[in-house]
A and B are shown apart, each in its own frame.
Chain A
Amino acid sequence: MTTTSLTSSRGAGRAGDKVFSAATLAAGCLILAVLFGVALFLVVQAIPALTAAPDEIQGGEGFFAYIWPIVIGTLIAAVIALVIATPIAIGVALFISHFAPRRLASGLGYVIDLLAAIPSVVYGAWGAAFLAKEISPAYNWLAENMGWLPIFQGPASATGKTILTAGIVLAVMVLPIITSLSREIFLQTPKLHEEAALALGATRWEMIRMAVLPFARPGIVSAVMLGLGRALGETMAVALVLSSGALTASLIKSGNQTIAAEIALNFPEASGLKVSTLIAAGLVLFLITLGVNMIARWIITRHKEFSGAN
């Protein structure tokens, strides 16, 4: 009796196992197929733009001359976003995980997660209609007092719709991503490490520096990279906020453009070769994102050996 039931249950389990493993395998294959399909589509559709005569491409100097300023623009906006968002996000995450009273912490975590749920068009509208106007006096101040730095060279934009404003809006948008992930990782720090550090006479800050941050470093890197992915690909907010233009070093003049915004702004009226050009721009963005993710993986694996977890 017992034997039979055991056998049968084992049999059922084996069938269940097979179904489950097949389902997960299918899911895994599906994501690869989708990725491959997207890549294939981008390459095939981009070929006409890549092979077209230089004077047929918008700007008249070929695809490379068209794409590189907006690649740089994309990177500038993303870097500004990360430079602003990362320290704040880590600070907020540490406050929630180690400093805030428990009830405040859960409420605060909830609010941060809510920030991630706001659609990007809302951030864009806020940036374009409110932030740009309010921040332009600050740009004038920067141009007057720090204009010797190339990035703050004046005259500042009168509308405030600059790449720096776009970067700030992007920073607000990536903040919840980095904060949520960092918070989860900080909470996973082994209690024994923390208590040991405190027992050795460390202050709270020393404990965090010695026990929490080393343990969380690969996690922080991957959180930042996820944020970077969002910043690179963000379309609507940048399209609404940024007054685009030619590549300029100054962050407070109007100018620069990102790939995603360029595609969004021009695709609706595009036809023929213009569509190919925009899809080729999409391909470049795809490759940049792929590159960023691979670098992130590499950093994470490299840091794993030194992390406090071992």
Chain B
Amino acid sequence: MKALRFSRQTAIAVIAAGALALTACGSDNPTAAANGGTNSSGKTQVTGTLTGIGSSAQGAAMDVWKSEFASANQGANVQYSPDGSGAGRKALLDGSAQFAGSDAFLKDEEYAASKEQCGPEGALNIPVYISPIAVAFNLPDIKELKLDAPAVAKIFRGEIANWNDPAIASLNSDVTLPDLKITPVNRSDDSGTTTNFTEYLAAAAPEVWTDKASGVWPSSLKGENAKGTSGVVKTVTDTPGAVTYADESAVGGKLGVAQIKVGGSFTKISAEAAAKAVDAGKPVEGRSANDLSIKLDRKTTVEGAYPVVLVSFHIVCSTYADQKTVDLVKAFESYVVSDAGQEAAADAAKSAPLSKTLQDKALKAIESIEVR
């Protein structure tokens, strides 16, 4: 009976309804071709559950990607647990997660180790989430200041203690600076924002910022702190003379935002400027051809680039053991880097959308994922 009914169906209907079940069974050429056909006919074929672990910075974006993807693909489901970037990379390497969300691309030794789970090409690092970090301050009547990296580093180290310090005044000759104590406010929790901010300071002002880049604020520094992005922004809003670093999206109200000196001019923070800084980054050597690990050039002198930026990656395998997972990963990651995905993240998490160039590279990398 079952066989009879099956034989009655047309070939096209078989492909449309059951292609995934068929393609999951074999990895020879004909099925791969059939799979290509279904992809063009619609995304409804991907099913199953994709498991990711990683960065909490991506958490808000991930929530919207998850739900949008699930509602667009009946039967497909993405689970993401924001346990931290390190935990995510570890989970990808030991095979307990199919992708990792990480505020840093794989280290060289991690990339070497990834070949065990991901095949000879290892894992792919795909930038999916870009967030410019603002230096935000609370000064009555001042909404804009110009600062360079050494000045920012000295402010956060407490070496510049007053807003009318000559080091700030010389950069802002057109602004009347108040005689007000500077209260630097940093994140009290371990955070990717802190990692990227200290990385910028350590690279762009090495003679002032002598600590290593780290997710935990150096404990030797005196200063105030608060929990989470919302916490630091709230604290600075309540405290005249306070200054902090935070995702640009979270900064608003009466807070002013500093322009950062890049090359010979000052760059105003914006999504485009952040994307420009990411485009100016250099690919990391020794990775597979499609890999998009980007070593940001924090000392960049490119006009209009804003180098204080957080780039978060999705780390996926270049090959997976079965076609079903490959389809699922491709469908999900393609959505994430697509215009729709980036816009959804920009709405929900106020991130900066990827540039067109980076988007194309990311799509190419995602297309290269195959079954082994």
Q: Hey, which bits of chain A sit against chain B, CB under 8 A?
A: 58-59, 128-129, 132-133, 157-159, 161, 239-240, 242-246, 254-255, 265-266, 268-272, 274
Residue pairs across A and B with Cβ atoms less than 8 A apart, 10 shown, are A59-B219, A129-B238, A158-B224, A158-B239, A240-B227, A246-B220, A254-B224, A266-B190, A268-B56, A270-B86
Beta-carbon nearest neighbor of A59 in chain B? B219
| Chain B residues near A274 (CB-CB < 8 A) | 86
B188 touches A239 (CB 8 A): yes
Task: Identify A159's interface contact among B84, B85, B227, B242, CB under 8 A.
Answer: B242
How distant is B223 from chain A, measured CB to nearest CB, in Å?
A: 7
| Chain A residues near B216 (CB-CB < 8 A) | 58, 266
B225 touches A268 (CB 8 A): no
Task: Identify B83's interface contact among A58, A268, A272, CB under 8 A.
Answer: A268
B356 within 8 A of A: no
| Chain A residues near B56 (CB-CB < 8 A) | 268-269
In Å, the complex CA distance between A19 and B113 comes to 57
| Chain B residues near A240 (CB-CB < 8 A) | 226-227, 231
Task: Identify B238's interface contact among A159, A255, A266, CB under 8 A.
Answer: A159
The list of the 4 closest CB pairs from A to B, nearest first, reads: A271-B86, A269-B190, A269-B84, A265-B189
Besides A266-B216, A268-B190, A272-B90, 11 more A-B contacts (Cβ < 8 Å) are: A159-B224, A240-B227, A243-B225, A246-B220, A255-B222, A266-B189, A266-B190, A268-B84, A269-B85, A269-B191, A274-B86
A271 touches B84 (CB 8 A): yes
In Å, the complex CA distance between A272 and B56 comes to 17
In Å, the complex CA distance between A272 and B231 comes to 27
B231 touches A158 (CB 8 A): no
B15 within 8 A of A: no
How distant is B252 from chain A, measured CB to nearest CB, in Å?
A: 16
A161 touches B181 (CB 8 A): no
B185 within 8 A of A: yes
In Å, the complex CA distance between A129 and B242 comes to 15
| Chain B residues near A255 (CB-CB < 8 A) | 222
In Å, the complex CA distance between A270 and B192 comes to 11
| Chain A residues near B234 (CB-CB < 8 A) | 128-129
| Chain B residues near A270 (CB-CB < 8 A) | 84, 86-87, 190
Interface residues of B in 207-258 (CB under 8 A from A): 215-216, 219-220, 222-227, 231, 234-235, 238-239, 241-242
User: In the complex, which range does the number of interface residues on chain B fall in?
Assistant: 20 to 34
A245 touches B84 (CB 8 A): no
Task: Identify B87's interface contact among A58, A59, A271, CB under 8 A.
Answer: A271
In Å, the complex CA distance between A128 and B56 comes to 23
Task: Identify B183's interface contact among A59, A128, A129, A159, CB under 8 A.
Answer: A159
In Å, the complex CA distance between A158 and B181 comes to 9
Q: Can you list, as one digit per residue, whether each of B300-340 has a CB less than 8 Å from chain A (1) or not (0)?
A: 00000000000000000000000000000000000000000
Beta-carbon nearest neighbor of B222 in chain A? A245
B353 within 8 A of A: no
In Å, the complex CA distance between A240 and B181 comes to 24
A161 touches B219 (CB 8 A): no
Q: A158-B242, A159-B242, A270-B84 are in contact. Are A128 and B90 (CB under 8 A)?
A: no
B122 within 8 A of A: no
How distant is B170 from chain A, measured CB to nearest CB, in Å?
A: 25
In Å, the complex CA distance between A97 and B25 comes to 76
Which of B56, B83, B216, B224 gathers most chain A CB within 10 Å? B224
| Chain B residues near A246 (CB-CB < 8 A) | 219-220, 222
| Chain A residues near B190 (CB-CB < 8 A) | 265-266, 268-270
